[in-house]
Amino acid sequence: MPTNSQTRRKLDEAAFFLKKVLEFLVKGGPSAPPELEYFASAYISAARAVTWIMKSEFGSRPEWQVWWDQTIASLTEDESQVFRRIRDLRNDDLKTTPIRPEFGAFAVPVIGRSEPMKVIDDPVWGRIAVPLTKRTIWVLHEGGKELHATFSRFLTLLNRLVEECEQKFAE
């Protein structure tokens, strides 16, 4: 199985841009720099192009179209939604409105033996210890819809499809 297929190279390109997007997520906000928009746009374009490159590279092989149709038909509803979301994001990004990712923050309690706790009376659970230390977790979204999990899930799905395609059809 060659790892230097054109499809694999495009998948690697998408992975590179997703890594750049996630690096911004680790740094957090409160405001997203313009470079994040550029990397998010590049990720969407590269990721969406993987299946087109795959079809160009392997589509003339016997049984490829049958395999592809069966593979797409067997996607879970969740996987199909991820595919549609990326398609819609790419179409919007290229044809109407460039993607404008934003940071959102939420606080997550840090629980550990050394963390300060406060005992409170909870009406359901009784006396419980509540952590006082919080960590801010940044999420990436556009228009209130998360992006980073969708981006990661799509790349995972693409990786699976490319692996399967290369195993079946690469020479």
Instruction: Delimit the domains of the chain by residue range.
Output: 6-100+146-169
pLDDT digit string, tens, across residues 83-114: 999 999 999 999 998 888 887 766 665 566 66
SS3 of 7-43: HHHHHHHHHHHHHHHHHHHHHCCCCCCHHHHHHHHHH
CA distance linking residue 151 with residue 47, whole number of Å: 9
Tell me, what's the pLDDT at 59? 94
Look at residue 139 and tell me whether its pLDDT is greater than 80.
no
Q: Specify the pTM.
A: 0.79
